[in-house]
Chains A and B, each alone.
Chain A
Amino acid sequence: MDEILAFTRALMDQTGLAHFWWGNLVMIVIGCVAIYLAISKRYEPLLLVGIGFSCIISNVPGSDLILPGGLFYYAYQGVALLIVPPLIFFGVGAMTDFAPMIANPKLVILGAAAHLGIFVALIGAKLLGFTLSESGAIGIIGGADGPMAIFVTMKLAPHLLPQVSVAAYSYMALMPLIQPPVMKLLTTRKERLIRMKQSRQVTRLEKIVFPIVIGIIVNLFFPPVAPLITMLMLGNLFRESLVVDRLAKTAANDLMNVIIIILTVAIGSTMSADRFLTVDTLLIVLLGLVAFVFGTASGVVGAKVMNLFLKEKINPLLGSAGIASVPIAARVSHIVALSEDKENYLIYHAMGPNLAGVFGTAISGGIMLALIGVK
């Protein structure tokens, strides 16, 4: 009888059951909620289905997928070795028209104004006892740029990757809920009704020169974040040159889809209960929300400050689009404007600060890495 019991115990030890604890159950529930939100509510399904599933599997103790030799492990290496984030930017560049940004250069400054949230979260994190590097990684959530948040976090505090990436992508999905109340609180109805003049036409030559010029500027001044923006610009050059349509389409569709699969699986695989179920996670999620609220507010206030000096006033709702999340933030500006005036189409104008926000986050991240002393 004893032998049978010993044999059964040895058998149990070889399965995951012996190592299963309540934290795993909590994380499996979180993974299921992510999948539910993706399927039922359509919240970022491209991201949440993969993240949710790999989160569930990573919390089943017997799973070898997250160990060396397992596919999730190698997917994570793509993130850890900073291969995946530049490739995402490559795809984003191939699908993005930068004309709204080129056409209205004065709105570009909103791409920096809307990043006050980064610094509020950074100081908040430091006050809560995080190290300066960790605080920088937490602050960058406020940039609302997933790949950039991953990139900077991997350089500053790789152990915080699951929390930072989950907070960044979750709040990006929730921007239509987070931003409008802040935007309405800080603007009058009269300001929200301001109509923008139609932008000028951007020529093919300008569109082709743009990625080359930005590529040079970024590599010259911000080597720490240059890989991301350089790939963004390469993708954009493929798109705008019109002579390599095949490559541009592959970058924007097939390659992007493959990379999204790798990214989501990698992020989900880092969400093991022992790493994720901590007080720090709660603090990071809270600081991420603070960052998004302050970023939205500072963008709107920035636009209002600009109006003090401009003869032709701009709609301050454009300010919140300076948060990098493309095109969600621009769409929110557009929808809030439409809710006041059914014929006030802000989307094209809002894309300008929105795209500038991508550069704003990259510049902030680059300066932060340099100041903290990370190469």
Chain B
Amino acid sequence: MTMPDTVYGAVLISFIDFFLSMLIISGIGVVLALFPLLNRLGRIDDATLRKSQH
């Protein structure tokens, strides 16, 4: 889809882009809010990882 090269097109892009950005970044926020659940899978020990340096 392409927008008309007019002020109307610029306003339309701005509205769509701003609200879609808000929506998508909120979605990322929701995904991040679920991250603590990952810790139920187990724990990774930093010291062990550091020991296995290549």
Q: What is the chain B residue whose CB lies nearest that of A222?
A: B24
Chain B residues with CB under 8 Å of A127's CB are 7, 10
Query: Which residues of B, 9-54, contact A by the 8 Å Cβ criterion?
Result: 9-11, 13-18, 20-22, 24-26, 28-33, 35-36, 38-39, 41-46, 49-50, 52-54
Taking Cβ atoms with an 8 Å cutoff, the residues of B that contact A are 1-7, 9-11, 13-18, 20-22, 24-26, 28-33, 35-36, 38-39, 41-46, 49-50, 52-54
Q: What is the chain A residue whose CB lies nearest that of B40?
A: A205
Chain B residues with CB under 8 Å of A116's CB are 18
Q: What is the chain B residue whose CB lies nearest that of A322?
A: B25
CA distance A118 to B21 in the complex (A): 12
A109, B22: Cβ atoms closer than 8 Å: yes
CA distance A109 to B42 in the complex (A): 29
CA distance A217 to B53 in the complex (A): 29
Chain A CB within 10 Å, residue with most, of B7, B35, B44: B35
Chain A residues with CB under 8 Å of B45's CB are 204
Partner of B16, one of A118, A204, A209, A371: A371
Q: How many chain A residues touch B (Cβ–Cβ < 8 Å)?
A: 52
Asked whether A373 is an interface residue with its Cβ less than 8 Å from the other chain, the reply is yes
Min CB–CB distance A148 → chain B (angstroms): 13
Partner of B18, one of A102, A115, A204, A359: A115
Chain A residues with CB under 8 Å of B17's CB are 118-119, 364, 367-368, 371
A108, B28: Cβ atoms closer than 8 Å: yes
The interface bits of chain A over 123-146 (1 if a CB of B lies within 8 angstroms of the residue's CB, else 0) are 101110001100110000000000
A363, B30: Cβ atoms closer than 8 Å: no
Asked whether A1 is an interface residue with its Cβ less than 8 Å from the other chain, the reply is no
Chain B residues with CB under 8 Å of A125's CB are 10
Chain B residues with CB under 8 Å of A371's CB are 1-3, 13, 16-17
Asked whether A50 is an interface residue with its Cβ less than 8 Å from the other chain, the reply is no
Known contacts A102-B32, A122-B10; is A367 also within 8 Å of B41 by CB?
no
Partner of B14, one of A113, A122, A241: A122
Min CB–CB distance A290 → chain B (angstroms): 14
Chain A residues with CB under 8 Å of B1's CB are 370-371, 373
A123, B29: Cβ atoms closer than 8 Å: no
CA distance A126 to B8 in the complex (A): 9
Chain B residues with CB under 8 Å of A126's CB are 6-7, 9-10
A108, B14: Cβ atoms closer than 8 Å: no
Q: What is the chain A residue whose CB lies nearest that of B37?
A: A206
CA distance A359 to B25 in the complex (A): 8
Known contacts A108-B32, A119-B17; is A135 also within 8 Å of B10 by CB?
yes
CA distance A210 to B32 in the complex (A): 8
Partner of B9, one of A115, A132, A205, A221: A132
Chain A residues with CB under 8 Å of B13's CB are 119, 122, 132, 136, 368, 371-372
B41, A205: Cβ atoms closer than 8 Å: yes
Partner of B25, one of A135, A203, A360: A360
Chain A residues with CB under 8 Å of B25's CB are 108-109, 111-112, 356, 359-360, 363
Chain A residues with CB under 8 Å of B2's CB are 371-373
CA distance A119 to B17 in the complex (A): 8
Chain B residues with CB under 8 Å of A363's CB are 20-21, 24-25
